[in-house]
């Protein structure tokens, strides 16, 4: 270690330079954060599909699951290449599961829970939606690759939480 301690001149010079750099740093940081915010906003708007939305509220948490769409457990065609899936999370399974959907189709999931909170996460995708009792949430997605996808519950829901796994099988689009 240097025995000769730097004097007040060093301290003064260091302080002057510190103040100058401080301004530059804050300017850079603010610019960076503005760009990041603008960037993430742009993606949210541009790729609006995966934004979680609320579809309906119910006073009785078991009410939505009694509706026909949820009870049928079928993939419902709503357009030329658009489908709806009504998914209920309950202790400790997803229903309906497994389901088959088509590669490249626009799938809208309607998700609710009849008991506690569950997390509707489809592994390997951006689908991530909290299943809240009494609220039907919705999220849209387009599976571009065929294969088996797992629905993983990612909100703690009791002792068998880790085993609450569902399956979505994406069938390859047939060439016509």
Partner 1 sequence: MLAFLIAGFTALMIGASIGPLQALNYGGINAYPALHPVLKSYYQGLTIHGVLNGYVFTFFITSGLLVYLPARELGLHPNLLLWRSGFVLMAAGALMLLWSMFDNSSSVLWTFYPPLQASAVFYLGMTLLSIGSIVPLPILLEMRATWKHRRRGELTPLVTYMSLVTMLMWGLASIGAVAELLLQLDPWALGFTSTVDPIIGRTLFWLTGHPIVYFWLMPAYVSWYGLLSRQAGGKLVSDPMARLTFVLLFVFSLPVGSHHQFDDPGFSPIWRGILVALTMSVALPSLITAFTIGLSLEFAGRVRGGKGWFGWFRALPWSNPGVAGQVLAAITFIFGGATGVVQGSWQLDNIVHNTIFIPGHFHVTVGSVTAMTFMAVSFWMVPHLTGRSLISRRLALASVWLWFAGMSIFALGMHWAGLFGVPRRAWISALPPSEYHTLYGMAHVPLALVAIGGVVLWLATFCFYVVFFGTILFGSRGTYREPIPFARAFGGRESYAIDLPLTDETTPVGIVAHPALSPLARTLEHVGLITLGTAVVTAAAYIPILWPFVHHLTHAPGWIVW
Q: Which positions from 18 through 77 interact with partner 1, judged by CB under 8 A?
A: 18-19, 21-22, 25-26, 29-30, 33, 36-37, 40-41, 43-44, 47, 50-55, 57-61
CB of residue 28 vs partner 1: minimum separation in angstroms? 9
Residue 89 binds to partner 1 (criterion: CB under 8 A) = no
CB 68 to partner 1: min, Å: 21
Q: Is 123 among the residues that bind partner 1 (CB under 8 A)?
A: yes
Cis check for the bond before 92: say yes or no (omega within 30 of 0). yes
- Output the smallest distance, CB 132 to partner 1, in A: 5
State the residue for tokens 């008991």. 115
Q: Contact, 111 vs 134, CB < 8 A?
A: no
Minimum separation from the CB atom of position 87 to partner 1 (A): 13
Query: Segment near partner 1 (CB under 8 A), from 75-83, 93-101, 151-159, 168-176?
Result: 151-159
Is residue 112 within 8 A of residue 88, CB to CB? The reply is yes
**Angstrom distance (rounded) from CA 33 to CA 40:** 11
In the block, which residue shows the tokens 């569902």? 166
Question: Could you give the CA distance from residue 102 to residue 81 in angstroms, rounded to a whole number?
Answer: 9
């Amino acid at each position: 270690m240097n025995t000769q301690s730097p004097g007040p001149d060093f301290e003064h010079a260091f302080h002057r330079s510190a103040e100058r750099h401080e301004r530059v740093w804050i300017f850079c940081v603010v610019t960076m954060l503005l760009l990041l915010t603008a960037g993430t906003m742009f993606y949210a708007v541009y790729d609006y599909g995966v934004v979680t939305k609320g579809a309906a509220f119910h006073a009785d948490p078991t009410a939505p699951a009694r509706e026909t769409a949820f009870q049928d457990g079928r993939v419902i065609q709503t357009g030329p290449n658009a489908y709806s899936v009504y998914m209920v999370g309950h202790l400790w399974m997803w229903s309906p599961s497994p389901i088959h959907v088509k590669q490249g189709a626009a799938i809208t999931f309607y998700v609710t829970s009849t008991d506690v909170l569950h997390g509707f996460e489809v592994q390997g995708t951006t689908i991530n939606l909290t299943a809240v009792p009494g609220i039907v949430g919705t999220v849209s997605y387009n599976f571009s690759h065929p294969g088996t996808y797992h629905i993983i519950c990612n909100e703690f829901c009791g002792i068998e939480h880790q085993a609450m796994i569902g399956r979505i099988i994406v069938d390859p689009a047939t060439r016509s």
